[in-house]
């Protein structure tokens, strides 16, 4: 499987685990605020053999593996890769943009992921702008229904600037984030989900849309206001810095 970069171990990306992280290159979305896709676009494929060998040597103290990207479900050999990690008795966390419910269903059926984190790119009315590509609603809604069937899962939204229909760019608002929270409830039939409201962090070394590089990180006051409002809908919501 193609891997663009790795972290040998990490205590943040997989809560409760010491996790190795594999970043897969390529994404089918064009989120304007994305910094991962431009970085990974220039990354050389280092393949999975060395990563799997590394896991063999550290499996006594590394307790999990995070597969993220880019978008991992674009990798045609993701399932065999996950099976190999499983054979080492390591926990697996998959990060996804929710664009491939068919593959998520196969991963679920084979019990290949312990934890799935899915991006919810704001309210559905803005998905074309926030994901950078139109026509993703059906897949993302289907993925939301599947994600809640994994042993552990989370939904998360980066409170990023959005390119509006009138050409202006402004941060997701409190009402828009409340709409995203309500959509999660309507789609899954429950408010009992871990939901993370994440800070947008600008990078001068490359976002997909250069205009977004001029923006500051998400103002703390906005994050607090969103948190307060979203908690009314999804009581297990936290702000992630």
Where do contacts with ligand SF4 occur on this chain (CB under 6 A)?
27, 29-31, 34, 36-37, 69-71, 97
User: Residue 154 CB, nearest distance to ligand SF4 (Å)?
Assistant: 15
Whichever of 109 and 138 has its CB closer to ligand SF4, that residue is 138
4 or 70: CB nearest ligand SF4? 70
Distances (CA, A) of 36 to 19, 142, 150, 163: 19, 24, 25, 19
* Nearest by Cα to 192 from 155, 218, 160: 155
Q: Residue 20 Cβ, how far from ligand SF4 at the closest point, in Å? A: 19
Min dist. Cβ of residue 232 to ligand SF4 (A): 27
Q: Check if the beta carbon of residue 60 is closer than 8 Å to that of residue 33.
A: no
Q: How far is CA 139 from CA 66, 87, 114, in A?
A: 23, 30, 21
Instruction: Report strand pairing: 5-10 vs 19-23.
Output: antiparallel
CB of 192 to ligand SF4, least distance (A): 25
Task: Tell me whether residue 62 or residue 131 sits nearer to ligand SF4 (CB atom).
Answer: 131
Which CB atom, from 64 or from 122, has the smaller least distance to ligand SF4? 122
Candidates 237, 240, 200; CA nearest to 217 is: 200
């Amino acid at each position: 499987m193609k891997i663009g970069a790795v972290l040998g171990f990490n205590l943040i990306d997989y809560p409760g685990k010491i996790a190795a992280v594999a970043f897969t290159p390529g994404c089918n979305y064009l989120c304007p605020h994305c910094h991962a896709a431009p970085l990974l676009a220039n990354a050389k494929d280092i393949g999975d053999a060395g990563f799997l060998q590394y896991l063999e040597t550290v499996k006594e103290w590394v307790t999990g593996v995070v597969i993220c990207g880019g978008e991992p479900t674009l990798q045609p050999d993701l399932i065999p890769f996950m099976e190999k990690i499983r054979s080492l008795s390591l926990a697996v966390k998959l990060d996804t943009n929710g664009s491939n419910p068919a593959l998520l269903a196969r991963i679920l059926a084979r019990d290949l992921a312990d934890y799935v984190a899915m991006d919810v790119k704001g309210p559905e009315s803005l998905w074309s702008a926030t994901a950078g590509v139109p026509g993703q609603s059906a897949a993302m809604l289907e993925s939301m229904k599947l994600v809640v069937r994994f042993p552990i899962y989370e939904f998360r939204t980066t409170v990023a600037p959005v390119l509006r229909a009138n050409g202006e760019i402004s941060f997701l608002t409190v009402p828009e984030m409340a709409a995203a929270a309500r959509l999660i409830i309507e789609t899954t039939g429950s408010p009992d989900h871990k939901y993370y409201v994440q800070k947008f962090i600008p990078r001068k070394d490359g976002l997909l849309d250069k205009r977004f590089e001029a923006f500051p990180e998400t103002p703390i006051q906005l994050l607090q206001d969103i948190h307060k409002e979203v908690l009314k809908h999804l009581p297990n919501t936290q702000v992630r810095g």
